[in-house]
Amino acid sequence: MEASELLRKLGQLLADAGIRAYVTGGYLRDSLLQRETHDIDIAVAGKAPEVAQKVAEALQGRFVLLDREEGTARVILTGAAPSPAGWYVDFTSFGGAIEEDLARRDFTINAMAVDLQAIAGPWPIIDPFGGQRDLDARLLRAVRLAAELGFEIEPGTFGLMQRDAYCLRGIAAERVQEEFCRLLATPGAAEHLGLLENAGLLTEVILELAQTKGVGQPPEHFWNVFYHSLYTVAALDALLCAKGVQPGEPAAAWDQAVALVPWHDGLTGYFREEVASGHRRAALLKLAALLHDIAKPACKTIEPGGRMRFLGHQQQGAAMAQQIMERLAFSARETRMVARMVEHHLRPSQMGSDGGLPTRRAIYRYFRDTEDVGLDTLFLNLADHLATRGPRLNMKAWREHCEATAYVISSYFEEQALITPPKLVDGRDIMQAFGLGPGPLIGQLLQAVREAQAAGEVTTREEALAYVKKLLMAEKRINDVSF
């Protein structure tokens, strides 16, 4: 007998007898999870053993008194569950409102009910304690609570998580996003991402990570792409703990390297800033770290000489990160921020020339292009360096990297005119001075003036116009005119 037919018969029997009845407990929970079950729990407004006995007689089932004192009984129909041919229907009593009965139950995921008379249509679930929300998030929540509270997951429970990992596919994206971001916000995020992986949950959250497993990298990399991504998060965990952004102690393996990482007092509040929905910059930075090489498998090539390359993985990775963020229902701002960090995660290492400090012009261009994630991307780049070399870290190269980063951070906080130069001229000034019409050229000239300002080459309106004149004459857009 199918569940729908059995529930219809039960509903008709109890309605004819004038008995209020509700489907509750495990059957409702498992149905919401789309799990097969042959146990049905019915709460009735009456004496459950008497109701069960009448149901057994009407449906030609077998009556079993489970607990005389508690007043619970079972009806076994057509064989023994969990055979596909058999059902166990357990009856319990409740008095007053069904919500009062639900309030006495052990877990919120068991404290839901559906009126048996309404079971034929879309289920109007009575859920006073948020059981559906907790049901949706239970797999990720177990790992997140372990991360937040320092608990270990009992082996039997972990086995059930492994068994049910596929259930995440049917969970609302907002629920997954919330639990995943809360896990990333913990100081042990990297360790617990590994726990998610062992449970088969990590690649259910981010399907694309499965493609990074086992993908080899050039000799300077200690780990393959998948583990490199996890260790990049671990490096950020150590750094953010060491600098007081999040509680906890940095992993000992990173102590010496983290001690050299530059810092500014303004960074603590910066990384604690709430971006959207309670998500802070630090958590989004770790999410970008997890995704920063997501496109490497698709971009991997081997040149004739044997050199391995991943050309364009930053740009393609940014597009993939955007898709992932949108699928997980992050806000537009969060999506843009993480995608931009992924796109520019190599830029900080490329700003300097011949290993020297970056020029003022390079710093200006960097913060112009990274917009509101320039500082975040600096630290993603540092973590990427640590997770590339791993235990083979060259301390001399690392010290130079930190010194260059310190110079850029100092420029950001101490020289705002370098990051956002004050306006010396506008488009109208340029058009009037040189007889030009509106168009893309005006925007290009204004951008060139701002770069020259950042580099310290122009400081006044007159110098700015002279600089524009020089550019126009070089391109033969104008003759030598005075203004």
pLDDT tens-digit series, residues 206-247 = 999 999 999 999 999 999 999 999 999 999 999 999 999 988
- List CB contacts of 156: < 8 A, sequence separation 6 or more: none
- Does 188 map to a domain? no
The beta-strand segments (E) located in 233-313 are 274-276, 279-280, 301-302, 308-309
126 secondary structure, DSSP code: B
Model pLDDT, residue 479: 60
- How many C-alpha atoms does 10 have within 13 Å on its Cβ side? 33
**67 sits in which H/E element:** strand 62-67
Cis amide linkage into residue 187, ω under 30° from 0: no
In this structure, the answer to whether residues 217 and 287 fall within a common structural domain is yes
Q: Judging by DSSP bridges, how do beta strands 21-24 and 72-77 pair with one another? A: unpaired
Domain containing residue 116:
3-129
- Does 197 map to a domain? no
In this structure, the answer to whether residues 72 and 118 fall within a common structural domain is yes
In this structure, the answer to whether residues 322 and 365 fall within a common structural domain is yes
> Do the Cβ atoms of 220 and 226 come closer than 8 Å?
no
Tens-digit pLDDT profile for residues 345-382: 999 999 877 768 999 999 999 999 999 999 999 999 99
- Does 268 map to a domain? yes
Name the domain count of the chain. Answer: 3
Q: Judging by DSSP bridges, how do beta strands 87-93 and 72-77 pair with one another? A: antiparallel
In this structure, the answer to whether residues 414 and 465 fall within a common structural domain is no
Residue 343 scores a pLDDT above 80: yes
Which of residues 384, 402, 419 is at a domain's end?
419
- Does 183 map to a domain? no
Average pLDDT estimate for 144-160: 81
- List CB contacts of 41: < 8 A, sequence separation 6 or more: 23, 24, 25, 26, 27, 28, 90, 92
Q: Both tokens of residue 34?
A: 């789309």
| Residue 150 φ then ψ, to 5° | 75, 25
Q: How far apart are CA 197 and CA 143, in angstroms?
A: 11
CATH of residue 44's domain is 3.30.460.10
Q: Could you tell me the pLDDT band of residue 83, with boundaries at 50, 70 and 90? A: very low
Amino acid symbol at 174: E
**242 sits in which H/E element:** helix 225-242
Tens-digit pLDDT profile for residues 252-265: 778 889 999 999 99
In this structure, the answer to whether residues 414 and 267 fall within a common structural domain is yes
In this structure, the answer to whether residues 224 and 372 fall within a common structural domain is yes
> Do the Cβ atoms of 130 and 108 come closer than 8 Å?
yes
- List CB contacts of 457: < 8 A, sequence separation 6 or more: 463, 467
- Does 394 map to a domain? yes
In this structure, the answer to whether residues 342 and 260 fall within a common structural domain is yes
- The radius of gyration of the chain's CA atoms, rounded to the nearest angstrom, is 31
